[in-house]
């Protein structure tokens, strides 16, 4: 019998660790194949705890966005800035800051790509993750 390779835990922390490595990863349920991003310890469809990591393409499209004019103190220097929800292959959606796109250029459905440079200023885990979206 072979010993299974250790698998990174299916936690938000690990999700962000992958992001720091420039990888957008999701957990796929081994039973029902539902993909969770960010990952979770239990499948919300079938209750399974068996997952594998899958790499998700960083290209998506803008689903909705909000322009932030009044920000928490640490982000006041950035205002106005845009927070968007971006949808990736398989209908996976994650929120993030959109940079290098003017408000006039913003359009629902526009293609965006994830960028793994740290967005400035320093991030506060877990809400200000080490990525942002920009236009393709």
Catalog residues that contact Zn ion under the rule CB under 5 A: 29, 31-32, 34, 43, 45-46, 48
Do 54 and 78 touch, CB atoms closer than 8 A?
A: no
Contacts 24+ apart (CB under 8 A), 1-6: none
Encoding tokens for residue 1?
A: 């019998």
Nearer to Zn ion, 46 or 108 (CB): 46
How far apart are CB 10 and Zn ion at their closest, in Å?
Answer: 12
Give the burial string for 80-100 (b: 16+ CB within 10 Å, else e): ebbbbebbbeeebebebbbbe
Do 42 and 15 touch, CB atoms closer than 8 A?
A: no
Strand, coil or helix: 105:
coil
How far apart are CB 60 and Zn ion at their closest, in Å?
Answer: 23
How far apart are CB 84 and Zn ion at their closest, in Å?
Answer: 28
Nearer to Zn ion, 36 or 84 (CB): 36
Cα-only R_g, the chain: 16
How far apart are CB 45 and Zn ion at their closest, in Å?
Answer: 5
Nearer to Zn ion, 32 or 108 (CB): 32
Nearer to Zn ion, 33 or 55 (CB): 33
How far apart are CB 25 and Zn ion at their closest, in Å?
Answer: 17
Nearer to Zn ion, 26 or 43 (CB): 43
């Amino acid at each position: 019998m072979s010993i299974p390779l250790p698998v990174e835990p299916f936690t938000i922390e690990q999700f962000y660790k992958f992001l720091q490595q420039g990888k957008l990863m999701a957990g796929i349920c081994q039973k029902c194949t539902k993909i969770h991003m960010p990952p979770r310890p239990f499948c919300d469809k079938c209750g399974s705890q068996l997952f594998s990591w899958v790499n998700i393409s960083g290209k998506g499209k803008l689903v909705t966005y909000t322009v932030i004019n009044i920000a928490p103190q640490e982000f006041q220097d950035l205002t106005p800035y845009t927070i968007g929800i971006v949808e990736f292959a398989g209908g996976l959606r994650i929120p993030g800051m959109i940079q290098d796109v003017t408000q006039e250029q913003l359009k629902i459905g526009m293609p965006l790509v994830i960028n793994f440079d740290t967005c400035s200023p320093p991030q506060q885990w877990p809400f200000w993750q080490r990525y942002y979206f920009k236009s393709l």
